[in-house]
Structure 1
Amino acid sequence: MASMKYRTEVSEFILTGITDTPELQIPLFIIFTIIYFITFIDNLAIVTLVFWDSCLHTPMYYLLSNLSLVYVIPKVIAGFLKGGKVISYNDCASQMFFFSIFVTSEICFLVFMAYDRPTAVCKPLYYTTIMTSSVCTYWTIIAYVCGLLNSAIVTGQTFSLSFCHSNVVHHFFCDIPPLLVISCSDIYSNQMIIFTLGGFTVCFGLLFVCISYLFILAAILRIQSTEGRQKAFSTCASHLSVVSIFYGTIIFMYLQPNSSHSMDTDKVTSILYTMVVPMLYPLVYTLRNKEIRVAMRKAIWGQRLH
């Protein structure tokens, strides 16, 4: 009971935001508000197109629509208007909990899409029998359950620590590295659990994606015609671009030693994967995907969706 009382002496945290320079607060607020709305509109457009256009009722686009749903930006835009933002202990834990759910679910959906692509390229005749609607439904459930379990462990480990020396979080939302920095507990065991779980999730996903693309590459090399190779590669280019962007930022942010963390560098990286990257994903799929472009043209020009 004493330890619980000692731990909860900090009842709220102060988020420092991206910058302490007052004249930059409003410009940053405007910039990230624009980014937020672009991301929201782009992802909503993909979900709507997949729902209404029967041509997009395939496993790949079903997974893509779910992937669009998990691109959620933390509700911290208002914090840019002032030097700091006060957030309660419970709200901070909730923010980390839901954010971790979406990140883990995103990893799962990228892995499932990595299974879908080699199936389409290597076994096109069996694709419809392998990638059924039931399989996609099971995968969706698994993605969110994994996100829930992973988030519960990570959040529980982080907020089982004591925060007694300082409640100033040098970040613009409640994330793991800046909270570990201000803890007055021995964070080694908690950090190892978080690092091991996160490392396994990210590395397993990345390994699975790499193996999938080795099968795709082998299948493409067996195709005789140049046109056939280009068509096969184009079916995977969008997913490969998204995977490269996502894993690059996640590995840089979380899978590095705690001593190597720089709060300013972490802020910049966090901006990339929470705001900029989710905005780029729909653009990548739109520009590199023929079916999405056709569906958008039909929607814009008012043609009948069939």
Structure 2
Amino acid sequence: MESKCIDYTNYILKILHCVAESKPIYGVLPINDLPDAQRNFKDTVFCMLFRKKKALLSLYNAVNKTNFTNVEDMEITTLENAVYLGMKNDVSCVFSFELCIYEHQSTVNPNMPLRNLMYVAQQLQKLVPQDKLYRSKPVKIPTPRFVVFYNGTTPIPERKKYCLSDLFEKPMDNPELELTVTVYNINPGMNDELLEACKLLKEYVQFTEKIRENRKAMELKVAVNKAVDDCIKEGILEDFLREQRAEVIAMSIYEYDQEMHMQVVKEESWEDGLAEGRIEERERMLMLWQCMRKNNEMHLIDMLEDKDFLQQMYNKYNL
């Protein structure tokens, strides 16, 4: 069966119109038209670990350096079965007058502010009754907080921020719309204080590291099974892995396959461009890379795979 090529531009415009007119945006995206691989989303091991209030509160406390214990005051607001450009958010909650949206990433993704803009619009429509928007009294909303926990293989700083304004085609000194995402690198040796404060997050990192180490010497399925066995023996996520073994193994294999696939696609895109291009084009790309590094724009490097964006960057630096 021939797969459909979906133009999301029209749907993004519809979402913006709905937000402007205070209309619900449920069902705006064509979920039924998506390929099966995009419709049938799998939870991740990270989602499974932090789907319960007690676990999520421990993560909140670690990020904010707090010691809250009032689990009953937390409201889980994760968007179940909500699809945005082929993605759904990991875990989110309302707690202490904050709307916290937490994501786990194994690849560098500078588009997280745009994704989170869509997520938070959906969340606020669920939290705020529509009729209140037309009253003269200000509507109070929980303060949005956006956090990404990164454990990919591409080196990044211990902590970094992505801003929505970085994606604007026309930069502004004081953008009228801004959204900032804080990324914590949770790979070994990074953000130790954060990991020590959340035992579950630390053990999750240990589990994923075992899979990566095993993968160097064995097939993926064997590597995942061995990681599960070793973690149980060492008391790492022991109860969780015993209870959810089959599902965790299936999810881990899927996640690792996806991570490797995205990395291969990225590398091939660059290799093809360098191999097939003329010497002048290769030099042009290297000059662009140097300009971006000089201007602290390396967080946009992944977006150069888009030909239109690549041309925009060439034009920006007169290359």
Same fold by TM-score greater than 0.5: no
Compute the TM-score of the two structures, normalised by the length of structure 2.
Answer: 0.25
Higher RCO structure (Cα 8 Å, ≥6 apart): 1
Compute the TM-score of the two structures, normalised by the length of structure 1.
Answer: 0.25
